[in-house]
Amino acid sequence: MFEIPTSTKQHDESRQGEALLIENDPQKSNGRKLYIESYGCQMNFSDSEIVASILLDKGFETTRDYREADVIFINTCSIRENAEQRVRNRLKEFESAKAKNPGMVVGVLGCMAERLKSKFLEEEKLVDVVVGPDAYRDLPNLIEQVDEGSRAVNVLLSREETYADINPVRLNTNGVTAFISIMRGCDNMCSFCVVPFTRGRERSRDPQSIVKEAENLFHAGYREVTLLGQNVDSYKYTAAVADGEEAGPTITFANLLELVAQVNPLLRVRFSTSHPKDITNDVLYTMAKYENICKYIHLPVQSGNSRILQLMNRTYDRAWYMERINAIRSIIPNCGISTDVITGFCSETEEEHQETISMMDYVKYDYAYMFAYSERPGTLAAKRYADDVPEEVKKRRLTEVVDRQRRHSLERLQTYVGKTHKVLIEGFSKRSDKDYCGRNDQNAMVVFPVDERYKVGDYVNVFTDKCTSATLIGVISS
């Protein structure tokens, strides 16, 4: 898999395998240490924060050294081809630690749990507990079962669970940016994707709980939130009412976006991910209306060809996608746009591949997440279509897509050079503590010299006078 670098990736390579660590409260401690390691998308990292909240409430402390842990969890992802082997290798490392500490509990959380529960629990005996993404409230009980000598599993999916009442512990955070999960599951049955099977049906959180979480984060010093969902545009919440009562108004994603933007003008709002079939003009007009809603949309295209899109069950065609791009450009002229692209999907021809290239030329994405198609077990595509594009062809097409995107990414960054950008200081540059870094409205990373007048968490105006292939470079303007 190839990607154009960016600071907020759905699969942020710098965070893969990251272990959480938070400040522990000695007065609540039960003397047991918890180690959680996360892989995959931001939803998985957000889920690890929920798990930490549940277990810290039971007196666990966190550690970054799995060898000293009493309970080890690995939060998994089923999207990538090599994810399963990576997890298996990691579990074997944990196995050797457990040999020295027989009372240690080892478990698998998340998207891989349902598909591999039998393998990990019974066949290979690599884990003691397997827990799906809707069963985290059951973790204290499942750990207790293991303590009593049993293996434990709960991979039941729910139509109601949103964890709305759980205030996530913020893990490994810069104290400036945070993620808020607004919904769980997915109803889009894209033929290449396992998410509907691993995360269940779509359900939206109560908007008041989301607004409250955003308010709490702002008061704690955070200055940017990203609203997370598999498809945020399909967010829809209607409060339950008693029989015979009239239903209240339905809150759409545009409504929710406005509610969060109104928390405070100094709280920046981002969101991910949008679906081309669902993103509405109402959302775009709301983005244009509020200065603190960032002008950036991640709009996965996957393919530029209508036949392939139909095989992918994306429920839009080339013309529809282009119309949505036109609407974004019209309503929010300065909007940054990123995308996902899959090359070599089942039966894709060379001409169809070229339509993806021409779509990239039409949009000129700021950046993209680019993959050669990899068949995932259990998906509709695996059941219905032959994975018949040769690997060398997939890789060659992927290289062409990556090369085209590199060119477009540089072109887009060059349009930001010579301009002043409002930037939220997120921390020091990875290369030097003499430079700050942060992102502009369009999600481009900006690096600029430290100025003692400003600190992390402040907004500054930065004049950018040059760029690299992935970063804007400038100075704070007075």
Express each pLDDT in 398-433 by its tens digit: 999 999 999 999 999 999 999 999 999 999 998 899
pLDDT of res. 10:
44
Is 241 exposed, middle or buried (CB count within 10 Å of its CB: 0-12, 13-18, 19+)?
exposed
- Quick one: how many helices (H) and strands (E) in the chain? 13, 23
**Tokens describing residue 82:** 């090599």
| Residue 257 vs residue 132, higher pLDDT | 257
Across the range 162-183, mean pLDDT stands at 75
Match 């808020």 to its residue by tokens. 180
CA distance 220 to 423: 20
Cβ-contact 320, 277 below 8 angstroms: yes
**Tokens describing residue 241:** 């009412």
CA distance 109 to 47: 9
Across the range 117-130, mean pLDDT stands at 80
CA distance 254 to 233: 8
Percent of the chain with pLDDT over 90: 54
3 state SS of 423: strand
pLDDT tens figures, 173-197: 678 998 888 998 888 889 988 777 7
**Tokens describing residue 99:** 């040999």
Positive or negative CA dihedral for 7, 3, 190, 443?
Answer: positive
Largest CA distance in the chain: 65
pLDDT of res. 3:
37
Across the range 10-19, mean pLDDT stands at 52
| Residue 330 vs residue 99, higher pLDDT | 330
pLDDT of res. 9:
40
> Model pTM greater than 0.85?
no
pLDDT tens figures, 236-270: 998 876 666 777 789 999 999 999 999 999 999 99
Q: Is the peptide bond before 273 cis (omega within 30 degrees of 0)?
A: yes
Cβ-contact 301, 339 below 8 angstroms: yes
Partners of 269 in beta bridges: 225, 293
3 state SS of 309: helix
pLDDT of res. 244:
67
CA distance 201 to 195: 9
Percent of the chain with pLDDT over 70: 88
Closest CA to 77 of 195, 158, 237, 174: 195
CA distance 420 to 463: 4
Residues 6+ away with beta carbon under 8 Å from 468: none
Radius of gyration in angstroms for the set of CA atoms belonging to the chain, rounded to a whole number: 23
For residue 80, pLDDT over 80 is answered with no
Enclosing H/E stretch for 18: strand 18-19
- Banded pLDDT at 362 (limits 50, 70, 90): very high
